């Protein structure tokens, strides 16, 4: 009876895992995209889905195909162009396409990390069986006590208590530094969340009509324009007033509309 119970429990767990994997795959969307620099179609651009750990590259026409889900981060990189990361939005999911503009520039090669430990082949080192290893007197000597040389309280009565006070002060100082770092990380997290919310809601806050009529952006290119603005540091205005944000968008729209399709 117990064997049957455990068998059924394991079977249910396996079914649940398979179901979750199938759901995750169903959420993936095939995206057709083009990579450009102004009107120039870019070949051999590396396209990596950093979230799903998958990749692709653009062909001679700048075209590429990659599978992604809402919220995935897609990295576009090349030695000759500035890297760009785009977060998959509802616009990409709805239209199943991406038009990506890269700026000319040079990227340094990533540092190569060696996961395996380096092993040295010592089999060819010339040695002699029974070779004596001489050690002089210095080999057996202990290192000098530096604290006794520089700390006048080391040998004095009450020196241990004073040393304890210093240690306690060090602990309190380190705790204070940790608290400051923790507070800094907390503020950075809040700032990042506000910036993300600002970018996600910018079209809703200013309406599509503002983008199409005031900025002369084609309805199908609104989110492409938002991506373009992100590359020009739109997020730094997350806490600015409406006048500053709109002025930034107007300036960027003039440059964006000059880009040849």
Distance of CA 233 to the CA centre of its chain: 17
**Pairing outcome for strands 97-101 and 81-87:** unpaired
The CATH topology of domain 28-107 is Immunoglobulin-like (2.60.40)
Percent of the chain predicted with pLDDT > 90: 27
Which range is least confidently modeled, 9-23, 75-89, 237-251? 9-23
* Per-residue pLDDT reduced to its tens digit, 182-222: 888 888 888 888 878 887 788 888 888 999 999 999 998 88
Q: Please say if the pLDDT value at position 67 is more than 90.
A: yes
User: In the structure, what pLDDT confidence band is assigned to residue 175 with cuts at 50, 70 and 90?
Assistant: confident
Domain boundaries, the chain: 28-107, 159-257
* Per-residue pLDDT reduced to its tens digit, 36-63: 988 899 999 999 999 999 999 999 999 9
Give the pLDDT of residue 154. Answer: 52
Q: Quick one: tokens of 151?
A: 């700390």
Residue 214: Cβ-neighbour burial (10 angstroms; 0-12, 13-18, 19+): middle
């Amino acid at each position: 009876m117990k064997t049957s119970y455990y068998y059924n429990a394991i079977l249910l767990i396996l079914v649940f895992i398979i179901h979750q994997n199938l759901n995750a795959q169903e959420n993936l969307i095939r995206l057709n995209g083009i990579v450009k620099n102004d009107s120039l179609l870019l070949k051999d651009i590396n396209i990596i889905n950093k979230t799903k750990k998958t990749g692709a590259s653009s062909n001679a026409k700048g075209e590429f195909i990659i599978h992604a889900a809402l919220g995935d981060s897609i990295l576009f990189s090349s030695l000759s162009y500035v890297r760009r990361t785009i977060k998959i939005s509802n616009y990409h999911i709805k239209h199943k396409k991406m038009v990506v503009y890269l700026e000319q520039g040079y990227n340094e090669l990533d540092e190569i990390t060696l996961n395996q430990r380096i092993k040295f082949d010592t089999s060819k080192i010339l040695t002699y069986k029974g070779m004596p290893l001489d050690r002089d007197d210095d080999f057996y000597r202990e290192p000098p006590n530096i604290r006794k040389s520089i700390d006048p309280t080391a040998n004095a009565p009450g020196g241990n208590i004073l040393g304890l006070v210093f240690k306690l002060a060090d602990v309190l100082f380190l705790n204070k530094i940790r608290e400051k770092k923790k507070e800094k990380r907390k503020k950075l997290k809040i700032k990042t969340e506000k910036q993300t919310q600002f970018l996600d809601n910018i079209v809703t806050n200013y309406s599509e009509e503002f983008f199409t009529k005031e900025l002369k952006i084609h309805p199908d290119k609104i989110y492409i324009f938002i991506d373009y603005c992100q590359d020009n540091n739109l997020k730094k205005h997350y806490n600015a007033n409406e006048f500053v944000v709109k002025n930034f968008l107007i300036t960027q729209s003039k440059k964006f509309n000059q880009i040849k399709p």
